[in-house]
Amino acid sequence: MSTSILIVVFLPLLAAIIGGLGNRSLGNVAVKAITTGALFISCGLSWPIFLGFLSGETIAAVVPVLDWVRSGDMEFGWALRVDTLTAVMLVVITTVSALVHLYSWGYMDEDPDQPRFFAYLSLFTFAMLMLVTADNLVQMFFGWEGVGLASYLLIGFWFRKPSANSAAMKAFIVNRVGDLGFMLGIFGTFLVFGTTSIPVILEAAPAMSGASVGFLGSRVMVMDVLCILLFIGAMGKSAQLGLHTWLPDAMEGPTPVSALIHAATMVTAGVFMVCRLSPMFETAPVALAFVTFIGAATCLFAATVGTVQWDIKRVIAYSTCSQLGYMFFAAGVGAYGAAMFHLFTHAFFKALLFLGAGSVIHAMHHEQDMRYYGALRKKIPLTFWAMMAGTLAITGVGIYWLHAGFAGFHSKDAILEAAFGRGTELGQFAFWLGAFSALLTSFYSWRLMFLTFWGKPRWAQSEHIQHAVHHGHDEPDEANPARQENAGHVAMHDVPSPEQAEGTAGYHPHESPVSMLIPLAVLSLGAIFAGWLFSEAFLDSAEFWNGSIYYNDGLIHAMHATPLWVKLTATIVMLAGLLIAWFAYIRDTSIPGKFVEQFGLLHNFLFNKWYFDELYDRIFVRPAFWFGRKFWKLGDEGGIDRFGPDGAAWLVAQGSAGARRFQSGYLYSYALIMLLGVVAAITWVLM
C-alpha cells in the first residue's frame, strides 16, 4: 500500500507542476490529458485501499516521507497516514476530483486559460490529500492552507472580474480568521502534550481531561480550550455560522470548482478534523456543546437563507453550508460515524447538484438566475434526471420499513436519530433545529427543481439569452463567454416574483457534451446507492472504523432505540417541504409574491443573508482602513516624525540660525562680543 498511497498523493502534484509550468508550451489538450489522467490513476488506486478497509483486510499504516522541522522538543515530519477515516476521504476526494476534471473538458471548453485551470484543480487535489493523510497537526495545517490557496486561485480564476477577485480575497482572509484559532490550537497542544503527532495526542488526551491551563489571564479546562481553538479553524474552512460569509461569494468561481472544492471536499475538512480528533474532543464537554450548538445554528441559518435566493448556485451553496451544520452537530453529540457518513453521501449528491446546475447554466448560455429558467425538463432531459437524483438524495427520500432510500435518507436520518438518542437537552435542540431545517431543505431543493424544470419558459428577459439569440449561439464574439457566468446579478433586486415575462425568445437550450454527462451519470449512481450500500459499515461497524474515530457504542444503541416518530420525522418533513414547494411554485405561482408582500421584513432579512456582510463591513473592514489611515497620518507622520527626526532637525536648524546671527562678519560686532566676554571673565575671576 505504501507505494500506491505515495502515487495517489504525489501524482496530482506532479501533474499540477507540469501543467502549471508547461502551460502554454504544452498546449491545452496535453495539459488537460496529463492532469485528468493523473487524477483517474489516483482514483483508481484509492478505491482498492478503501475496499481493503471495508473488508477488513488492510491495516492502518504510516508512510514517512521526509523530516520537516526539528526544534528542541518540537519535531514533525512529512508522512502519509492511511487508516479507515483517511481511506473514506481518499475515495471521496479522488473520485469527485477525477470526475470534475473530466467535466471541465466540456464546461471550460471555450476558456483561453484552460491549462492554468486544470493545474489549479490538480494542485488543490494534492493539498487536500495531504490534509487527510496528515499524521501530525502541522501537516494537516499545511494541507489546510494549501487547499485555501487553491480555493483562492480558483475562486479568482476569472481574475479580470472585480467580483471574483473580491470573493477570492474574502475567502482567504475569512479563512485566516479560522486559521488563527487553528494555529493557537496547535501551539496549545504542543504546550500541553509536547508533541504535534496526532496519535500521541489522542492517546494522552484522556489523562489531561482534568487539567487546567492559563489562558488570557484566567484558568480554564485545558481540553476545552484546545478543542474550541481547533474548532474555530474548522468553522472557517467549513463555513459555519459567523465565518460562513465567504462561501456564497465563492460561487464566483467556475461551477466545477464549486462542485469540487465548495461542496464535496474542502469545506468538509472541518468535519474531517473534528472526526480525526474525536477522542480528543470526547474529553472536552464544553467544546462539544459548542460544536453542537454552532452546527445546529448553521444548519438552520443557511437553510432559511437558501429558501429565498434566486441564483441557482447560491441556493446550492447555502444548502452546502446547512448540510455541513448537520455533520457538525452529529459530531457534537458523538455520532462521528454518522457525521462521516453524511460527509460521504453529501459529497456525491452535492457534487452532482452543482455539476447539474453547471449543465443547466451551460444550456442557458450562462444565465444563473432561476427566474429566467422554466420548462427545461424536456429540453435537457439527461441533466434533468441527474438533478432529480441529486434532489431525491438531498431531501432524503426513502422508505423506513424497507431500509432503502437515496443517499441522504440514510445519512440524514442517522444524524437526527443520534441527536435525539443522545438524550441531552442540547441533543433535543439540535434534533428540532435539524428537523425544521430538513423541511426547509426539501422546500428549497424542490423550489429549485420546479423553477428550473417545470412551468413555462421565462427565458425572454434574460440578458444572456438575448445575447445568445442576437449574436448567434456559438459565435466566439467574446474571448471567453464562460467569463460572463454570474454577470446577471444586476437583476437580483427586482421584485422577486417568478412571474416574469414568459417566452423562449427563440432560444434553444442544448444538452451538454458527453464529457459533462458522464460525471453526472456516475455521481447519480453515487447519489442513489451510496447510502444504501455503505450505511451498515459507516453507522454500525466498530470493526470498519477500527479505532480511527471515537466509536460510541452506547449512542449507536440509543439511536436504534429512538421512538418510531423520530425515525419518521425526516420523511414527514421532507414530504411537507415538497408539498409546500409544489403549492407555491406549481399549483399557484402567485403565492411567493403574496408571501413577500405580507412578510416583507422577514423576506428582506433572509434575502440579505441576515445582514452578516453589512455587519462585518461596518465593524471590521471599514475600521481597519480608518485606523490604518489614522495610524499612518497622525501616528507616523504627525506624531513620531514630527517630534522625532523632523523635530530634531527643526531644533538644529533653529540653533544654527541663532548661531549664524553671531557670525555676521562685521568686525565691530565681534569686538563687542569679545569685550563683553572679557568683562564677564574678569568679573567672574574677581568675584
In the region spanning residues 406 to 435, those forming contacts with another protein, defined by CB under 8 A, are 421-425, 427
In the region spanning residues 169 to 198, those forming contacts with another protein, defined by CB under 8 A, are 169, 172-173, 176-177, 179-180, 183-184, 186-188, 190-192
Q: 24: closest CA among 152, 137, 116, 155?
A: 116
If you count DSSP H runs as helices and E runs as strands, how many of each does the chain have, helices first? 30, 6
In the region spanning residues 434 to 493, those forming contacts with another protein, defined by CB under 8 A, are none
Q: Which residue has the cell 425544521?
A: 436
Identified binder of another protein from the candidate list 27, 56, 64, 206, rule CB under 8 A: 206
Identified binder of another protein from the candidate list 10, 40, 47, 215, rule CB under 8 A: 215
How far is residue 1's CA from residue 338's CA, in Å, rounded to a whole number? Answer: 27
Query: Closer to another protein at the Cβ: 217 or 665?
Result: 217
Query: Closer to another protein at the Cβ: 127 or 530?
Result: 127
Query: Closer to another protein at the Cβ: 290 or 348?
Result: 290
How far is residue 534's CA from residue 91's CA, in Å, rounded to a whole number? Answer: 13
| Binding piece for another protein, criterion CB under 8 A, among 146-154, 349-357, 398-406, 489-497 | 146-154
What mask of x and - would describe binding to another protein in positions 639 to 658, judged by CB under 8 A?
A: -xx--xx--xx---------
Question: Closest distance between another protein and the C-beta of residue 155, in Å?
Answer: 11
Query: Closer to another protein at the Cβ: 78 or 310?
Result: 78
In the region spanning residues 47 to 106, those forming contacts with another protein, defined by CB under 8 A, are 66-74, 78
What mask of x and - would describe binding to another protein in positions 529 to 558, judged by CB under 8 A?
A: ---------------------x-x-xx-xx
Residue 156 CB contacts under 8 Å (≥ 6 apart), including other chains: 164, 165, 167, 168, 169, 252, 253
How far is residue 499's CA from residue 63's CA, in Å, rounded to a whole number? Answer: 60
How far is residue 15's CA from residue 126's CA, in Å, rounded to a whole number? Answer: 10
Which set of grid coordinates corresponds to residue 269?
475538512
| Binding piece for another protein, criterion CB under 8 A, among 40-48, 460-468, 633-641, 664-672 | 633-641
> Does residue 595 interact with another protein by CB under 8 A?
no
Q: Which amino acid is at 305?
A: V
> Does residue 142 interact with another protein by CB under 8 A?
yes
Q: How far is CA 258 from the centre of its chain?
A: 9
Question: Closest distance between another protein and the C-beta of residue 555, in Å?
Answer: 5
Identified binder of another protein from the candidate list 213, 388, 518, 579, rule CB under 8 A: 213
> Does residue 334 interact with another protein by CB under 8 A?
yes
Size of the site for another protein (CB under 8 A): 99
What mask of x and - would describe binding to another protein in positions 12 to 31, judged by CB under 8 A?
A: --------x--x--------
> Does residue 214 interact with another protein by CB under 8 A?
yes
Q: Which amino acid is at 357?
A: A
> Does residue 254 interact with another protein by CB under 8 A?
no
Residue 424's CB: how many other CB atoms inside 10 A?
A: 12
> Does residue 306 interact with another protein by CB under 8 A?
no
Q: 276: closest CA among 143, 177, 151?
A: 143
Q: Which amino acid is at 347?
A: A
Identified binder of another protein from the candidate list 4, 163, 212, 515, rule CB under 8 A: 212
How far is residue 15's CA from residue 124's CA, in Å, rounded to a whole number? Answer: 11
Residue 667's CB: how many other CB atoms inside 10 A?
A: 8
Question: Closest distance between another protein and the C-beta of residue 100, in Å?
Answer: 23
Return the axis-axis angle of helices 553-560 and 407-421, rounded to nearest 10°: 100
Identified binder of another protein from the candidate list 631, 656, 673, 677, rule CB under 8 A: 631
Query: Closer to another protein at the Cβ: 57 or 73?
Result: 73
| Binding piece for another protein, criterion CB under 8 A, among 142-150, 384-392, 482-490, 659-667 | 142-150
Q: 101: closest CA among 147, 17, 172, 42?
A: 42
Return the axis-axis angle of helices 269-276 and 336-363, rounded to nearest 10°: 170
Identified binder of another protein from the candidate list 249, 282, 367, 485, rule CB under 8 A: 282
Question: Closest distance between another protein and the C-beta of residue 687, in Å?
Answer: 36
Identified binder of another protein from the candidate list 7, 33, 149, 505, rule CB under 8 A: 149
**DSSP structural state of residue 253:** S
Residue 459 CB contacts under 8 Å (≥ 6 apart), including other chains: 364, 367, 372, 373, 374, 465, 503, 504, 505, 507
Query: Closer to another protein at the Cβ: 352 or 555?
Result: 555
* Pairing status of strand 404-405 against strand 398-399: antiparallel
Does residue 363 contact residue 382 with C-beta atoms inside 8 Å? no
How far is residue 374's CA from residue 502's CA, in Å, rounded to a whole number? Answer: 9
> Does residue 224 interact with another protein by CB under 8 A?
yes
